[in-house]
Amino acid sequence: MYVPGKQLVTADALSRAPSGPEKSTENETLEDECRVFVDLIVQQIPATKTKLKQIQEMQNEDLTCQQLRQYTQKGWPDHQKTVSEHLVPYWSHRADIHVANGILLKGERILIPKPMQREMLERLHQGHQGMTKCIARAQQSIWWPGVIRDVRELVERCDICCQHSQQKTEQLMPTPLPVRPWQRVAADIFQWEGGHYLVVVDYFSRYIEVANLPKLITATTVERLKVIFARFGIPETLVTDNGPQFASCEFAEFSRDYDFKHVTSSPRYPQSNGEAERAVRTVKQMLRKNQDPQRALLAYRSTPLAHGISPAELLMGRRIRSTVPVPPKSLTPRWPDLKVFRRKDRMLKEKQQETFRSRHRAKNLPVIIPGQKVWIRTSKTTGTVRGEAATPRSYQVETEMGTLRRNRAHLTVLPEPTQQEVNVTVTRSALPLQQ
């Protein structure tokens, strides 16, 4: 039964059937969708319209970009050998290179022409962020063959980043065991509860002597050392830091008078006087835990160390009597087996070295060649290395303040300027000054 259309509450299927075929074809629809997608990519590129226009103009002027644009329109050659030499780096990426709104892209990243690459690198490194973040910024927006390599080189050669980079931990350098007791000793001064004390430790036996310093002057330090030397003999070598009590002319005269070699550790690097530093920690722990420091020293000197022999036995060839009962026969002078002691000492040091290396991922820093520019971390100045110093891992560095001795851990090698950077500096210096 016929019902007028205006009276139909719900239209049937035939009354709403299309009158003819769609005007747009599937190909045209696909092209429209691709065009919308490409426009969306360009809109999402993190760059202003002015900068995009500048990049487009540079691409139009660049010969490489002109040829790439032609290949994207007409198709790439069938074989790489037929491609110009300067386009070979783009060959493996040819499927991703296309033009959108007049701009050459590689995927969703802008293809930067050669003349603008240096500027883009400097923009990527604004804020002096680390290498990982700079690479992430590049992967987000721009591309050219070798962009990741260029970013790495830029960050590695940045003076400011080198100056503020974290220095790697070097491997532990074990202290060589002397030939005999009291041949090489170390000394240091520490403060405890308002007083100052002198600590002297033997490299061979780890035997520790402690003396009070009523006055923190060279004369008092020398007097205390004379008392200790009178008790155990004069060592061949005395190792100290560069404190004023040890760096004075008076102390130098004392070393000549008593005929021993005075060696100072690297300035501002207490680890290089490690034996004395460990002895100071041991003594402070004694003072912190014991009311009678002399009894604590007695206990330390008579207690076997990790290799099974006490410091007193190694220094004097006998056990010393303490409050712990021992058979009288064991107090008879008798030297321990030094061959066994040396073997155990070497094994312990090798184990410590391996533990330190694995725990801190320690790795020796590269040797600095004389003439290289360095950044001195302790004084925040630059200098030129003149050569290695007498102490291990130390260098003589020439600065505006004079020649300094610094440990390798305090020195960061600054990159040499490239020829391109030199040319830029010369060009800028040749420009007339603005009035």
- What would the pLDDT profile of 29-83 be if each residue is shown by its tens digit? 545 544 444 454 444 455 678 888 899 999 999 999 999 999 998 899 989 988 8
Per the CB < 8 A criterion, the answer to whether 214 and 204 are in contact is no
Collapsing DSSP to helix, strand or coil, 57 comes out as helix
Q: What is the b/e burial string over 194-221, where b = at least 16 CB atoms within 10 angstroms of the residue's CB?
A: eebbbbbbbbbbbbbbbbebeeeebebb
- The two structure tokens encoding residue 263: 């060696």
Question: Exposed e or buried b for every residue in 366-384, given b needs 16+ CB within 10 A?
Answer: eebeeebbbbbbeeeebbe
What confidence tens digit (pLDDT) does each residue in 148-158 have? 999 998 888 88
**Per-residue confidence band for 357, with pLDDT thresholds at 50, 70 and 90:** confident
| Res 293 pLDDT > 60 | yes
Q: Sheet with 373-376: list strands edge to edge.
A: 402-407, 394-399, 381-388, 373-376, 411-413
In words, the CATH class of domain 373-417 is mainly beta
Residue 289 phi/psi, 5° resolution?
-100, -15
Asked if 174 contacts 181 with a C-beta cutoff of 8 angstroms, the reply is no
- pLDDT, one tens digit per residue, over 386-407 is 998 888 888 999 998 888 888 8
pLDDT value for 126 = 85
Alpha helical stretches, state H, 290-367 = 293-302, 311-316, 338-360
Structure token pair of residue 159: 């003076």
**Statement: residue 199 has pLDDT above 60:** yes
User: What are the extents of the domains in the chain?
Assistant: 26-156, 184-360, 373-417
**How far are the Cα atoms of 340, 369, 370 from residue 380, in angstroms, in the given order?**
48, 20, 20
Q: What is the pLDDT of residue 420?
A: 52
What 8-state DSSP symbol labels residue 259? T
Q: Which fold has domain 184-360?
A: Nucleotidyltransferase; domain 5 (3.30.420)
Cα separation, 76 vs 152, in Å, equals 31
Strand segments, DSSP code E, in 232-380 are: 237-240, 261-264, 373-376
Residue 61, CA distances (Å) to 112, 118, 417 in order = 12, 17, 29
Residue 421: pLDDT above 90?
Answer: no
Over its C-alpha atoms, the chain yields an Rg (Å, rounded) of 38
Residue with tokens 């830091």: 241
Rounded to an integer, the average pLDDT of 103-114 is: 92
What would the DSSP string read from start to end of 203-214? TTT--EEEEEES
Residue 186: predicted pLDDT = 95
Mean pLDDT is highest, among 113-117, 229-233, 349-353, for 229-233
CA distance 387 to 394: 9
Q: Determine the Cα–Cα distance for residues 324 and 302; give it in Å rounded to an integer.
A: 10
Question: What digits encode the pLDDT tens for the residues 13-23?
Answer: 555 555 555 55
* Per-residue model confidence (pLDDT) at position 41: 46
The predicted-structure confidence for 252-270, as pLDDT tens digits, reads as follows 999 999 999 999 887 766 6
Residue 36, pLDDT score: 47
Helices (H) and strands (E) in the chain, counts: 15, 14
* Phi, then psi, of 388 in degrees rounded to 5: -75, 150
**Bridge partners, 403 (sequence order):** 398
Cα angle value 22/24/30 (rounded, 5°)? 130
What is the distance, to the nearest Å, from the Cα of residue 97 to the centroid of all Cα atoms in its chain? 39
Is the distance from CB of 187 to CB of 198 less than 8 angstroms?
Answer: yes
Q: pTM above the 0.75 mark?
A: no
Give the model's pLDDT for residue 37. Answer: 45
Confidence of residue 432 (pLDDT cuts 50, 70, 90): very low
Q: How many Å from the N-terminal Cα to the C-terminal Cα in the chain?
A: 98
Q: Are strands 381-388 and 394-399 parallel, antiparallel or unpaired?
A: antiparallel
Note the pLDDT of residue 173.
Answer: 75
3-state secondary structure of 186: strand
What pLDDT, in 10s, does the model give residues 160-191?
A: 887 777 777 777 777 889 999 999 999 999 99
